[in-house]
């Protein structure tokens, strides 16, 4: 009886073994079952639009780096705002902007470095691009961190240059994430003697804030399929 049972199990074991050999192909099939396309895009080769950013001063006092201030970023192709991508709703966390270093001389010339972490936020990518099968992609921001250097002249801030890191995941594509890095430069702030420039994202709260041009963006979409999920997909495919 034992021998019969072992022999009867052999086709099943062989079936599972063959299915295991198809894990890689099953993973590929599974990955194509959603609209996200893995890849790498950058402004340097023209595959990704640059951007414009507003930071609304929502906290108290009304100034940069205060908890609650909110970001609103959109693509900018030189003519149309927000046609390719948008990331918005990230609010400075309770720590506010944290100073990490400074060098200012007796005349008030120098710099101060800050790191600011944000919470929350949403993202949107236009479906008519190579990162999708034609479906608009939406999702949540899971990480947003900005390292900024503020340059001072006569003890007054005259320039702000930032490095931005952002991560998020998609509603339409389980297991797919996006990572974005970018640089930005402040071009205007409330209280400036210059008029507020046009074609920037609106302030999401408060009545003022600052505006930034963003350049040198890179974005990468990666999708991970669990081994168990892929193996089960391979097994099911053999019954069809």
Model pTM? 0.81
Query: Hey, where are the domains in the chain?
Result: 36-225
pLDDT at 236: 40
pLDDT at 1: 43
How far is Cα 38 from Cα 132, in angstroms, rounded to an integer? 9
Please enumerate in sequence order all residues whose Cβ is within 8 A of that of 179, keeping only pairs 6 or more positions apart, or say none. 165, 166, 167, 219, 220, 222
pLDDT at 23: 31
Omega before 61 within 30 of 0, i.e. cis: yes
Please enumerate in sequence order all residues whose Cβ is within 8 A of that of 52, keeping only pairs 6 or more positions apart, or say none. 73, 74, 76, 81, 199, 200, 201, 211, 212, 213, 214
Burial of 89 (0-12, 13-18, 19+ CB in 10 A): middle
The mean pLDDT of 102-112, rounded to a whole number, is: 98
Beta strands at 110-119 and 98-104: parallel, antiparallel or unpaired? antiparallel
End-to-end C-alpha distance for the chain, whole angstroms: 32
How far is Cα 201 from Cα 181, in angstroms, rounded to an integer? 19
pLDDT at 10: 34
Local confidence band at 32 (pLDDT 50, 70, 90 cut-offs): low
The mean pLDDT of 145-173, rounded to a whole number, is: 97
- Which one-letter DSSP state was computed for residue 85? E
Per residue in 59-103, pLDDT (tens digit) is 889 999 999 999 999 999 999 999 999 999 999 999 999 999 999
């Amino acid at each position: 009886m034992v021998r019969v049972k072992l022999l009867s199990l052999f086709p099943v074991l062989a079936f599972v073994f063959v299915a295991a050999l198809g894990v890689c192909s099953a993973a590929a099939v599974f990955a194509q079952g959603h609209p996200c396309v893995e890849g790498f895009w950058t402004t340097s080769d023209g595959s990704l639009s640059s951007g414009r950013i507003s930071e609304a001063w929502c906290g108290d006092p009304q100034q940069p780096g205060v908890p609650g201030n909110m970001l609103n970023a959109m693509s900018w192709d030189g003519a149309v705002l927000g046609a390719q991508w948008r990331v918005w709703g990230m609010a400075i966390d309770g720590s506010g902007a944290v100073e990490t270093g400074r060098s200012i001389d007796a005349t008030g010339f120098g710099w101060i470095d800050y790191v600011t972490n944000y919470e929350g936020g949403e993202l949107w990518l236009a479906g008519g691009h190579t990162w999708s099968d034609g479906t608009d992609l939406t999702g949540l921001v899971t990480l947003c961190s900005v390292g900024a250097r503020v340059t001072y002249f006569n003890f007054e801030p005259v320039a702000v240059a930032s490095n931005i890191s952002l991560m998020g995941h998609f509603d339409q594509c389980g297991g797919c994430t996006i990572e974005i890095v970018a640089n930005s430069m402040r071009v205007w702030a409330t209280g400036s003697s210059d008029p507020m420039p046009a074609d920037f994202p609106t302030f999401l709260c408060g009545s003022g804030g600052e505006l930034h041009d963003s350049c040198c963006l890179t974005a990468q979409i990666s999708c991970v399929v669990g081994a168990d999920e892929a193996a089960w997909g391979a097994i099911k495919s053999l019954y069809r």
